[in-house]
Structure 1
Amino acid sequence: MSFDPPTRFDSASAVILPEGVASGTFNLAGGMVGQFPAVLYGRLLYVGNLKEMTVIDVRTGRTEAAIGGDNTSVGSARRAAERPVLADVGGTPTVLTALYTAVKGSGTTAARNLIELVGVDAATAERLWSIPIPSDDASPEDPVAVAGVSGGTAVLRAGTMTYGVDLLQRKVAWQNPNFVVGAVADGTAVGVLHDDPVRGRLSGFSAADGKLAWRDRADVYAASVRPVSPTLVAFHGNAYGSGAPDDRLLAAATGKTVTREFITDTCAYDGVGIAVCSGANETVSVDAATGKRLWAITPDGSGRTAVRVTAARKGLLYGSTENGPVVVDARTGEDREVDPGAAPYLVNGSVGIARNPQTYRIIASPAIA
């Protein structure tokens, strides 16, 4: 039976997933560092690490496949990668992940390092293809990830290098050695273009051909960009020189600032028009197209406790407060369910993927309402 979107989960019947799922994703306080490194498609959970992508049947907890590249992986299975990306590639729902691999030398042919962009049929877990990207200067210790997909182009980040890869022709379309992409939205790869190892400027490049779309005038450092919705991204950094914090919600295609002082740790898009974000003591919901604030919970004495966002789906926000898991109406901010049984990081109509607060294991809890 499917409940889409669900409001309650049966934690008593939860399936314990293999040990090591999302290893290194949570800090000692239980907070998540970055994104949960998996994507859920039907009954299949695709989990990324730096060695391979593991496929788990969430109904049984059994590992169905471990998918690598064409060559020997040089990444660690104990280190979580960033989240794989689900995209439509030529009409096929495809899970994309990026891995570091190495080609051994032979005779007079020198050994070389590669990044492999691997595509997997989301419905069957069949590996479809792998696209090799020469990267002799890249280190397996550098983060490698698919930042996003626009049209037929996947945008990858490997250390301080960004690649645009044509998924239909299966070749590198463009690359930028000084651009660190953080998000792909509205046809634009958004990140920081570096003038030197410390200083850079917030910039947007066409995802299709890598041409500069816009560049901010302010120099920043310790900067990062994260996705918010199909058209919006969040920027966090510090002004170079003064050190003043610079936090913004902006339109990806133009770089225009929508909201300043937009301080968030986690954002989730519900897939139908609302994005919800949370920081240390604040939860804010915005229109996914315009960035207009719909509601917020702030430390202003209102008597409400901020929600730490874990996921959003079809008008609902999933997360937790000091009182435990909660489901909230993403448009109005009203509580929908105060005892949902889980605060899932990934959710569909049948299951929620969450973390057991007692054992810290990742579990798959069936949706029951």
Structure 2
Amino acid sequence: MDRLEIVDITSGMVTGTLRPAHQPALSPSTQDPFVGGNPAQPPILAGTGVQRSVVTAFAATAPGKGTTPPRPVIEILAVDAGTGREAHRIEIEPSDDSQHKLTRKHPVVIGASGPVVIAQVGTDTVAVNLDDRREIWRRPDFALGAVAGNVAVGTDTKAAVARALAIESGAERWRTEPAATITIKPGSPKIVTATGASQGRKQFFRLLDAATGRVLDESTATSSTAYNITCLHDGRSVTICQDQRQDWTGAFDDSGKWLWELPDKEANRIAPTVTTTWHGAVYGRTTNGPVILDARTGEDRETAPGLTPWLVNEHTAVASPPDASGGVKLYRATG
């Protein structure tokens, strides 16, 4: 990624573009940005109240001077969420593994708590305080999976152990028992998911309380879907999970209780491919076309909505046109 674009949601016009202060290190001119998948990630919101910032990260190369050669840097860019103007730009060091051009990776801002943002920089997890404009802690060899509440949860890259680190200090809050493999991903604002295999090679899919590491549920531990599940919170009280490889979709509430799952052979119902979820509605599609489910019950709410949106809020939806003409369009929310 080599720029952040500001788009007027009512017109679709790009109203501003912000770029790294230095030469982008991983722009299309230096490497194919889609090798191994699209590296672009959405920015995150940080701060509280009216002091909200949109935050992203760039890999860049600072110019050399005299006998000092050019050097790699990571730029953390914060943009005022109300005005779209640059608020802060903070430079931090890349991780040791990303010093070499061939092994450098796009830095990704994963989450925030107040003014502290947490980013994955190569193999390091790094915390930056936007108010102080400085790095406050760094955890080498740590694959950050999710930021939930006041902890950053991830796994050691050299040992299959999940840990939670305090956002304000980087101190360890809890850890899991060693496993053969384990991956942490976001669940809800207070829950993370842990998937992988135990040392006995039994696959597991667990819901963990982010604050304590307590297992809230592992009722789907024998499911063959364990490795590929991703989840989206609806912004209200339900998290929708799916595994497209296995055609499986399920939902749990903010207490960690499973509410429903599809497919349901007894009811003769199949699982949809979910594109997004918002405030009690699950948007997706099946072989029958677009569909909207009720997030708490899993029942069909609308069987012919006409669109399968990728992004939704209370005002608008972004979706591909139903006429298959390509691209995406903005649609006004109804009801």
Which amino acid is the alignment partner of residue 59 of structure 1?
Answer: T
Which residue pairs with 1:84 in the alignment?
43
Question: Residue deviations 1:44-69, cap 9 Å, x none?
Answer: xxxxxx11112222333322222122
1:159, distance to aligned residue in structure 2 (A): 2.2
1:114, distance to aligned residue in structure 2 (A): 1.0
Of residues 302-311 and 56-65 in structure 1, the stretch that sits farther from structure 2 once superposed is 56-65
1:350, distance to aligned residue in structure 2 (A): 2.4
Which residue pairs with 1:277 in the alignment?
241
Which amino acid is the alignment partner of residue 345 of structure 1?
Answer: W
Unaligned runs of 5+ in 2: none
CA contact (8 A) 1:327 1:340 kept: yes
Which amino acid is the alignment partner of residue 122 of structure 1?
Answer: A
- 1:250 matched to 2:208? The reply is yes
Q: Distance in 2 between matches of 1:76 and 1:339?
A: 41
1:291, distance to aligned residue in structure 2 (A): 0.7
Which residue pairs with 1:22 in the alignment?
none
1:188, distance to aligned residue in structure 2 (A): 1.0
Q: Secondary structure at the match of 2:309?
A: coil
Of residues 50-59 and 185-194 in structure 1, the stretch that sits farther from structure 2 once superposed is 50-59
Q: Distance in 2 between matches of 1:282 and 1:218?
A: 28
1:323, distance to aligned residue in structure 2 (A): 1.6
CA contact (8 A) 1:248 1:259 kept: yes
Please give the TM-score of this superposition, normalised by the length of structure 2: 0.86
Q: Distance in 1 between matches of 2:92 and 2:48?
A: 19
Which among 79, 89, 95 is matched to residue 120 of structure 1?
Answer: 79
Which residue pairs with 1:200 in the alignment?
160
Which residue pairs with 2:127 in the alignment?
164
Which amino acid is the alignment partner of residue 120 of structure 2?
Answer: R
Which residue pairs with 2:274 in the alignment?
309
Q: Secondary structure at the match of 1:228?
A: strand
CA contact (8 A) 2:63 2:71 kept: yes
How do 1:131-210 and structure 2 match up within 5 A?
131-135=90-94, 137=96, 138=98, 141-194=104-157, 196=158, 199-210=159-170
- For residues 218 and 80 of structure 1, do their structure 2 counterparts lie closer, same or farther at Cα, with a shift above 3 Å needed? closer
- 1:238 matched to 2:197? The reply is yes
1:341, distance to aligned residue in structure 2 (A): 2.4
- For residues 136 and 336 of structure 1, do their structure 2 counterparts lie closer, same or farther at Cα, with a shift above 3 Å needed? closer
Q: Secondary structure at the match of 1:51?
A: coil
Q: Secondary structure at the match of 1:168?
A: coil
1:91, distance to aligned residue in structure 2 (A): 3.2
What percent identity do the matched residue pairs reach? 32
1:218, distance to aligned residue in structure 2 (A): 1.8
Which amino acid is the alignment partner of residue 205 of structure 1?
Answer: L
- For residues 66 and 243 of structure 1, do their structure 2 counterparts lie closer, same or farther at Cα, with a shift above 3 Å needed? farther
CA contact (8 A) 1:305 1:322 kept: no
- For residues 269 and 136 of structure 1, do their structure 2 counterparts lie closer, same or farther at Cα, with a shift above 3 Å needed? closer
CA contact (8 A) 1:89 1:167 kept: no
1:109, distance to aligned residue in structure 2 (A): 3.0
Highest RCO, 1 vs 2 (Cα 8 Å, sep ≥ 6): 1
Q: Secondary structure at the match of 2:145?
A: strand
Which amino acid is the alignment partner of residue 362 of structure 1?
Answer: V
1:243, distance to aligned residue in structure 2 (A): 4.1
- 1:68 matched to 2:28? The reply is no
- For residues 340 and 259 of structure 1, do their structure 2 counterparts lie closer, same or farther at Cα, with a shift above 3 Å needed? same
Which among 99, 113, 135 is matched to residue 58 of structure 2?
Answer: 99
Question: Residue deviations 1:114-168, cap 9 Å, x none?
Answer: 1111111223221211111112632574242111112321110022110011121
Question: Residue deviations 1:148-201, cap 9 Å, x none?
Answer: 11232111002211001112111111001111111000211111013x3xx421
Which residue pairs with 2:252 in the alignment?
286
CA contact (8 A) 2:320 2:329 kept: yes
What is the RMSD computed on CA atoms of the aligned residues? 2.2
Question: Residue deviations 1:185-243, cap 9 Å, x none?
Answer: 0211111013x3xx42111111111001111112333x432111100111222345x54
1:359, distance to aligned residue in structure 2 (A): 4.7
- 1:363 matched to 2:329? The reply is yes
1:296, distance to aligned residue in structure 2 (A): 1.9
1:299, distance to aligned residue in structure 2 (A): 4.6
CA contact (8 A) 1:282 1:299 kept: no
How do 1:303-342 and structure 2 match up within 5 A?
303-342=268-307
Which amino acid is the alignment partner of residue 2 of structure 2?
Answer: K
Aligned length: 314
Q: Secondary structure at the match of 2:77?
A: strand
